[in-house]
Chains A and B, each alone.
Chain A
Amino acid sequence: MDLYDLLKKLQTIEPNRDYTETSRRVVLSTPRVAKLSPFRILFRALESSAAVLVASMLVLIFFGGFSVLRILTPGAPSKTFDPLTLRAEAEAIDIQIQLANLNYVEPTEGETNPLATLLAMPTTTTSVAPPETITTENIRPEVAEQAKDLGLIRDNAPDEATPPEHLVGVDEALDLLFE
């Protein structure tokens, strides 16, 4: 066989089919290593920070109590005179007063809270009407929630229809058990 025939034969040579399959799989499964330039590192850091920031803002907006516009508005009025801020702080005090009043029932009779009437008014009005007496009937929902957690008011009955006078709590049930 001369050299020309040999070269012609080489043209028809094919790789082993199994080997081709295996090597293709190996090449495809190897992760591509990206070149890490300083610019790319900076870009990734910025990308992650922006993702966390956007997520935090979305959560804050979702749960309310956060006004982006208010924060971003230049020349926002001083918080000292901002009726909304003052009102929010007064409401926080009112919640604490109601919680304290719920701890013992007796001293609340006739006792007055100067903020109770004020908070029932629009923020632009500041005149004071005769103060009202705080009772368990007119407590705010956020107070009721905290009062339940602290054991100051009864948990609701399993079937909400049970009237309060028929509720049997821990102490009443214990009394009935040793009678």
Chain B
Amino acid sequence: MRTALYTPLGVTLGILFVFQGLFAVHAAEPSCQFQKQIEELAIKKKLSGSDSLTRIREELTVRKNLLRDIIDCATREAETLKEKLSMLTLYDQDTARAQTRLADELSKTISFYGRERVRINDVGLRASQDTARSIREWRRGNYASLADQTVNFIIWANNQDLMKTAERRLAELHGTVKTVKLSESEDIGTLVKKAREHLTAALSENERARKTFIDDALRGARNPSLSLASIKSSLQSLAETYQTFFDLRKLLKE
């Protein structure tokens, strides 16, 4: 009897302990804000009392440490996106291919950061500035659109369950209305039709976003603004579908 009582309690506490541990690890991650180190660098640059060589050495140390922290943060950023991407469940091969393509490009970015981090060990003051410029240019010309496209893909993938739920709700609603012959009411019929139109529009834009991801993966291109426009439009129509569901519910209650 005692075992029957203690075992579930033990298992529960064990699971909660693991969760608590995960949150603790998450909270321990360093912040990606560098204002303090930038202030420290400004102070080192302004130091006039000490001799020139010592000042340069100190400034270089601050610069190198800051660059390492920046690269670590940028790497974590790309790794988090890659992890979120890998957690998605996709049901067709074409979108899974688009997912793999994005993951590969994120891996390339992570490798680039790794190479730049190793280079820092041997750089001087001038070369440290060049490394900073090279990373900044990579981020502007490559990573920014990759991150945008990946975020869009994640949002789109997470929308799929919402689309399916809305389709199911509409089918249930249609069934209920038909069974109790409520469709004879003009208002209810109009609202059901309106909900169907909104949902059709949402599904159509959702499909357009899917095609953009697939085409981009095939052509090796990135069109984050195109995919985002379709995602937004599809979500807007989905929201209007639910607005109509609420209207219908109110009418059915009367």
Contacts and interface: CB of A to CB of B under 8 A. Distances in A.
B84 A155 contact: no
B107 interface: no
**SS of B interface (majority):** helix
B43 to A, nearest CB: 14
Interface string A61-104: 01000000000000000111101001001101110110111011
B121 interface: no
B130 interface: yes
A92 B165 CA distance: 11
A93 B235 contact: yes
A93 B242 CA distance: 9
A103 B151 CA distance: 8
Interface in A94-120: 94, 96-97, 99-101, 103-104, 107, 111, 113-115, 118
A93 B238 contact: yes
A141 interface: no
A173 B8 contact: no
A33 interface: no
B236 interface: yes
Interface string B114-138: 0000000000000011101101100
B136 A175 contact: yes
A107 B63 CA distance: 37
Contact of B232 (A107, A151, A154): A107
A155 B80 contact: no
A111 B232 CA distance: 10
B47 interface: no
Given A86-B245, A174-B139, A100 B232 contact: yes
Contacts of A174: 70, 132-133, 135-136, 139
Contacts of A96: 155, 158-159, 162, 235
Contacts of B219: none
A166 B35 contact: yes
Given A51-B7, A93-B235, A150 B84 contact: yes
Interface stretch (A12-20, A23-31, A156-164): A156-164
Interface residues of A, number: 60
B90 interface: no
Contacts of B74: 170
Contacts of B159: 96
Interface string A9-52: 00000000000000000000000000000000000000110111
Interface in B58-88: 63, 66-67, 70, 73-74, 77, 80-81, 84
Contact of A158 (B36, B63, B133): B36
Interface of B: 3-4, 7-9, 11-12, 15-16, 31-38, 41, 63, 66-67, 70, 73-74, 77, 80-81, 84, 128-130, 132-133, 135-136, 139-140, 147-148, 151-152, 154-155, 158-159, 162, 165-166, 169, 172-173, 176, 224-225, 228-229, 231-232, 235-236, 238-240, 242-243, 245-247, 249-250, 252
